[in-house]
Amino acid sequence: MTPDRLLARDDPAWWRHAVIYQIYPRSFADGDGDGIGDLAGITSRLPSISELGVDALWLSPFFTSPQNDGGYDVADYVGVDPLFGSIEDFDALLDRAHELGMRVIIDIVPNHSSDQHAWFQAALAAAPGSPERDRYLFREGRGENGELAPNNWTSTFGGPAWSRLPDGQWYLHIFDSTQPDLNWRNERVRSDFHDILRFWLDRGVDGFRVDVAHGMIKAEGLPDYHPHEFADRIGVDPSVALTKEGPNPPYMLQRELHEIWREWRTVVEEYGPDRVLCAEAWVEPLTRLADWVRPDEMHQAFNFSYLEAPWDARALRATIDSSIAAFGSVGAPSTWVLSNHDVVRHATRFGITSAVAPGEGIGPRNADSVDAALGLARARAATLVMLSLPGSSYLYQGEELGLPEAIDLPDDARRDPSWFRTGGERYGRDGCRVPLPWEAADPALGFSPTGAAWLPQPEDWRALARDLQSVDELSTLSLYRSALSARRSRELGAGSLEWLDGYPATALAFRNSGLTVIANLGRDPLELPEGTRLVSSNPFAGTALPPDHCVWILED
Ligand code: NOJ
């Protein structure tokens, strides 16, 4: 930690320019040796993350859960799952992170609970039409005997979005059948969640990443969804909000959501201006996403348009411009993100050289579609571009090691519900959730003291272990450290972007806070301006920037 560093802890507006590091607890570090990461494991490794130079942590769920969806199926919102430790372990983690100057945001999963939650169990035990059932979305079926689902919605994980109970009623689950959707038109649901927010704020958390923030309210009457008809009718009207499923699904993007955010904003502000809400909202275009971060709603929303942009200078420039304009139009900082626990790691994604079906993921069947060396070179360059942009960036654990997607996972090791619900058609997300390599010579590459790991680590990850990269100045880890340190000392997160003229359309060239950033996404080397090269994504000699490289230059 540099002495002149303004710690996120001491800066109420920290979230406007922070670098936030996502920890997926199951796969970060295992303290007790059962092969599953835990809170004590995280605490013991926090110095490495602070040393990396990030401002804050986002912890994916560690709450009581049957773990059917990696903890995004919560059975008790104020309990720590024994798999991950105890509430005391959580307090110790929070204290240690704060001591090291890092903020901590946690994940809140309000769209649905686990079917093991006491609320759902009470609903099952109660009669149709009861207040217990009104906490969820129970409905009678269609057809003569109610044997058809109440509408035609499908689950994001594949298969139907409705399951039927022995008493004949159906319940809605936009995700797995063990993740029943809560009814956010129910006042008790709303006030219980205010209490849950306060429970964690009282313990000292700095904010929340809000899961499926765009899906919590469903259209009145739960109408069928006909995306294609609707899309044809509206054409490509950019004012219409889109999700991955298509335009305006009745189970997403409802206007009443904004009331919820206003209520939540009031709750977090009781604790001061430095407690934040960040929306997980797969919403396009960015002009619509901006509605979520108006001054009295969420503070931030993930910029999935950026994550999904291809390695193409025109597309990236357009996304950067529209992000800054859209978020800026409501006074919010833009966010940037390249990887998380739901997508193919960007070191692999940028190396995909032939078409992969949307949502299929990468696994043994389509492994040939990936050029790993190209992917890593581009990923390093893409990260350098991202970290030079004004606003707040999210990193996903392991990207600082250049980890690729784990492609060769055996079928019987896979755990993602989308793998099961599509009969293996989609590989799902296990490949980006493999336990981290810490020490090359230790059991489970240092992930756990016993050598156990809930998903097998690829043998070639040994060479990527953190201890080896720490002492290699050309490693991806060293690149992240240098970039994060320069980003902080030059305050790039709080800066502003000015595009530079005179570069080909296949390049990104801009200035931020006195730094010139040039990325070459074309096929030919690119002549560089004079100046001191502060950081470069990969080493290169001469005055021209090779393809798939990015460099930060200080004018002399
Ligand atoms: C988004 C989370 O990031 C993902 O991991 C989860 O499966 C779904 N929401 C459902 O909670």
Helix axes 257-269, 187-203, angle to 10 degrees: 30
As a whole number of Å, the CA-based R_g of the chain is: 23
Report pLDDT for 231: 56
Residue 259 near residue 291 (C-beta atoms within 8 A): no
Q: Which residue's alpha carbon is at the smallest distance from atom 5 of ligand 1?
A: 342
Atom of ligand 1 nearest to the CA of 111: 11
Q: Which two tokens stand for residue 449?
A: 């003291």
Which residue's C-alpha comes closest to atom 10 of ligand 1? 72
Q: Tell which one of 26, 72, 157, 252 to mutate to probe ligand 1, the residue whose CB is within 8 A of the most ligand atoms.
A: 72
Atom of ligand 1 nearest to the CA of 69: 7
The candidate with the shortest Cα–Cα distance to 241, out of 310, 328, 304, 174, is: 304
User: For position 186, what pLDDT does the model report?
Assistant: 98
Measured in Å, residue 297 CA sits from the centre of ligand 1 at: 21
Query: 72 CA to middle of ligand 1, Å?
Result: 6
Atom 11 (ligand 1): residue with closest C-alpha? 72
Tell the residue number behind the tokens 């009745």, with chain if given.
250
Question: Collapsing DSSP states into helix, strand and coil, what is residue 231?
Answer: helix
Residue 182 carries which DSSP code? Answer: B
Nearest atom in ligand 1 to the alpha carbon of residue 340 is 3
| Ligand 1 mean position, distance from CA 165 (Å) | 24
Q: What is the pLDDT along the chain (556 residues), one digit of tens a residue?
A: 443 456 788 899 999 999 999 999 999 999 999 999 999 999 999 999 999 999 999 999 999 999 999 999 999 999 999 999 999 999 999 999 999 999 999 999 999 999 999 999 999 999 999 999 999 999 999 999 999 999 999 999 999 999 999 999 999 999 999 999 999 999 999 999 999 999 999 999 999 999 999 999 999 999 999 876 655 554 545 556 777 777 888 999 899 999 999 999 999 999 999 999 999 999 989 999 999 999 999 999 999 999 999 999 999 999 999 999 999 999 999 999 999 999 999 999 999 998 888 789 999 999 999 999 999 999 999 999 999 999 999 999 999 999 999 999 999 999 999 999 999 999 999 999 999 999 999 999 999 999 999 999 999 999 999 999 999 999 999 999 999 999 999 999 999 999 999 999 999 999 999 999 999 999 999 999 999 999 999 999 999 999 999 999 998 7
Fill in the DSSP letter of residue 37.
-
HSE at residue 424, side-chain half, CA atoms within 13 A, is 8
pLDDT in the model for residue 247: 80
Could you tell me the distance, in angstroms and rounded to a whole number, from the CA of residue 215 to the centre of ligand 1?
A: 11
Contact partners, residue 404, CB within 8 Å, separation at least 6: 345, 347, 348, 351, 370, 372, 375, 376
Nearest CA to ligand 1 atom 6: 72
If residue 484 lies in a helix (H) or strand (E), which one and from where to where? helix 476-489
Cβ(94)–Cβ(203) below 8 Å: yes
Pocket test for ligand 1, best of 212, 214, 304, 339 (most atoms within 8 A of CB): 212
For ligand 1, atom 8, name the residue with the nearest CA.
72
In DSSP notation, 56-76 reads: EEEEPP-EE---TTTT-S-SE
Q: Supply the pLDDT for residue 30.
A: 98
CA distances from 312 to 14, 508, 548 (A): 31, 9, 10
Pick the atom of ligand 1 nearest to 417's CA.
Answer: 7
End-to-end CA, the chain: 27
Ligand 1 mutation pick, 175, 339, 396, max ligand atoms within 8 A of CB: 175
> What whole-number distance in Å separates Cα of residue 125 and Cα of residue 410?
39
Q: How far is the CA of 17 from the centre of ligand 1 (A)?
A: 25
- Beta strand 207-210 pairing with 103-108: parallel
Residue 392 Cα, ligand 1 centroid: separation in angstroms? 21
Q: List all residues whose CB is within 6 A of at least one atom of ligand 1.
A: 69, 72, 109, 175, 211-212, 280, 341-342
Residues annotated as part of the active site: 211, 270
pLDDT at 10: 86
Give me the phi and psi of 79, to 5 degrees please: -120, 145
> Which atom of ligand 1 is the closest one to the Cα of 175?
10
H or E element, residue 210: strand 207-210
Ligand 1 centre and the CA of 200: distance in Å? Answer: 20
